[in-house]
Structures are given as structure tokens and as C-alpha cells.
Homo-oligomer: A and B are copies of this chain.
Amino acid sequence: MSDETVNTRMNMIQAINSAMDVMMERDPDVIVMGEDVGFFGGVFRATAGLQKKYGKTRVFDTPITECGIIGVAVGMGAYGLRPVPEIQFADYIYPALDQLVSEAARLRYRSGGEFTAPLTVRSPFGGGIFGGQTHSQSPEGIFTHVSGVKTVIPSTPYDAKGLLIAAIEDNDPVIFFEPKRIYNGPFDGRYDKPARNWSAHPAGEVPEGYYRIPLGKANIVREGEALTVLCYGTMVHVVEATIEGLGIDAEIVDLRTLVPLDIETIEASVKKTGRCLIVHEATRTSGFGAELSALVQERCFYHLEAPIERVTGFDTPYPHSLEWAYFPGPVRITEALKKILKD
């Protein structure tokens, strides 16, 4: 779907930056706003250079009120703009929840389609950077419970750019969670090993221009027969590395979009393998893994040869110093794999 074939090496930040750049270039109604996103270019530098290029009325810093950022963006959307607000950390999205749930998500419905809120809310999420309780959360599950918003989570620079462009073009509100642990490189879950960067990864090669990855389509990262692993974001890489290490013939499905979900791909895969592991970093109870488990069970019951297992973060806040004991890493995944494959 690319209309521009020059590829460059990008890390995920650069890919996200490039997606906004491309869309701002193409569509004068796209605007970028958020805390520190203007002159400074964002605390993770995802918006670096955009204000300089597109001016202060299209890329600007905001007051520190997430409720205001989203509320104002909804109004801008109703006017006809296509705002791309940033919430500095996903942990700070809660003050905006009413504007997201009761307003952005419901506006089309309650106005019979007269008004829409075509926002793309970008927000870094997830742990693994010693950010403690309030810089590590994965609240995606909450949004999947809200009818009227889409939830998208990329796992590579290539996907990040293609999905973000699709999200910005989408006429419904999209929550776009960026797994900050892999901004700079894929992460195999072994925190004590040197960090890698994206330059060696095939998905670190990203077209410079416009292309889109449709929302609602999963990506089979690895085909296999032994079991199906459903995952997204950072966990895709942890799962991949773990499976590789164990030499298991797993099929790894990177969901990319949680709502709407690519149920066809999931169903086909589980029906083929008969076994299913779900992996996410968010707390376990009522996390999105629960929905995945329920769906798979409902649709593939007679194909299942073992219980569906969930590997998740624990039902506690993200603890600062015990971060790696909390993180659903290779050991936790290995244990679950053993269990699923045992008979």
C-alpha cells in the first residue's frame, strides 16, 4: 500500500514521528497537541521537528490537563480537524477518561452520526524502564471495554508508522498505545543482556513516505503448528525470543489492533494448533487476555486440546524495584508453554 518506496532505518520513535509528518503534509487538518510536544518535541521526542515544520497553530504545547486535552480535541474534531493529541504517559490518561468514554467514543452514536471525533490519542505505555507505578501501566483493557473507540498497539517501527497513519485517517477515535520499552529496539525480555536497537531488525526498515496498515488486521509473526500465541506490543518480541530459545513450533499472532479484533486469524490459528497462550503485560484480572481467552474458548472449544493459558502482569501496581519479577518475561512464558504442551 506504499506510494513511496524509499526505505530508511528508523527506530519506533522516528517511525511514529514520520507517520505524523507524512499525515500533516498530506492533510492540513491534522494537528498535534499535548504536554511538551511543541518546541521541545515531546519527552520521548516523538514530535521532534514538527512544530518547526508545520508551525505553532498545528503543533503546540498544552496546559497540563488531560481532561482538557481530550475535551478540546473532541471539539476540534467536531469542527472538522483531525487532532492527534498525546497523553505523556498512559498512566495519566485517567483524568481524560470521561472525555474519552462519554464523549469521544459516544459522540457519533448519540448524535446519530452528525458529529464525530476522529481523534488519534497517542500514549506511551508499558513497563520495563524502571518507571515505577506511574510510568509503567498498560491500561488498554479498559478501552477495549468501551464501545466506540478502537485500540491499536504496534510492535515494530514499520507497523507503528503504517498503523498510526491508518489511525489518523480513521474517522473514529483511536487509542494508539506505544510500547515505550521497544521505542529504541526490540526487547527479548532478558533485561540483564545488552539492549538491541532496531537497525538489525527487518521491521526497522521503514518507507519514508505514506503507507498504511489497515486497522483490525493481525500479523502472523511466525507460523507454527504446536500452539498459538496471542500477543501485542513489547510482548511480541519477548514471546518470539522465548519460543526461539525453546525451539517450539509456535504460531505467534501479533494482534496489532485489539478492537476491532482480527478474529478470523485468531480462530483459524487456534483451530489449526489446538492450543493457545495469551500474553500481555497488563494486570491479569479483566485484562484484554480475559476477553481473548473467552473468545477463543467460545469459538474453538471443540478444537482445544489443553486449557488456554494467560501470561500477564500480576494484579498489583507496577513495583519499582521488583520490576523484573513483575514483568511477564521468558521464565513465566516458558512455564506456561510447558503447561500447555504437556499433554
Contact = CB atoms under 8 A, between A and B. Distances in A.
Interface of A: 67, 91, 94-95, 97-98, 101-102, 106, 109-110, 133-134, 141-142, 144-148, 259, 282-283, 285-291, 293-294, 297-298, 301, 304, 306-310, 315-317
A91 B98 CA distance: 9
Contact of A106 (B133, B146, B298, B301): B133
A288 B286 contact: yes
A316 to B, nearest CB: 5
How many copies of this protein are present in the complex? 2
A131 B283 CA distance: 33
Contacts of A101: 94
Contacts of A310: 294, 298
Contacts of A301: 304, 306-307
B285 A145 contact: yes
A286 B286 contact: yes
Contacts of A316: 109, 147
Contact of A102 (B110, B134, B146): B134
A309 B317 contact: no
Contacts of A298: 293, 307-310
A106 to B, nearest CB: 5
Interface centre among A67, A282, A285, A298 (most CB of B within 10 A): A285
B291 A285 contact: yes
A141 B106 CA distance: 18
A66 to B, nearest CB: 8
Contacts of A290: 286, 290-291, 293-294
Nearest to A315: B147
A139 B285 CA distance: 15
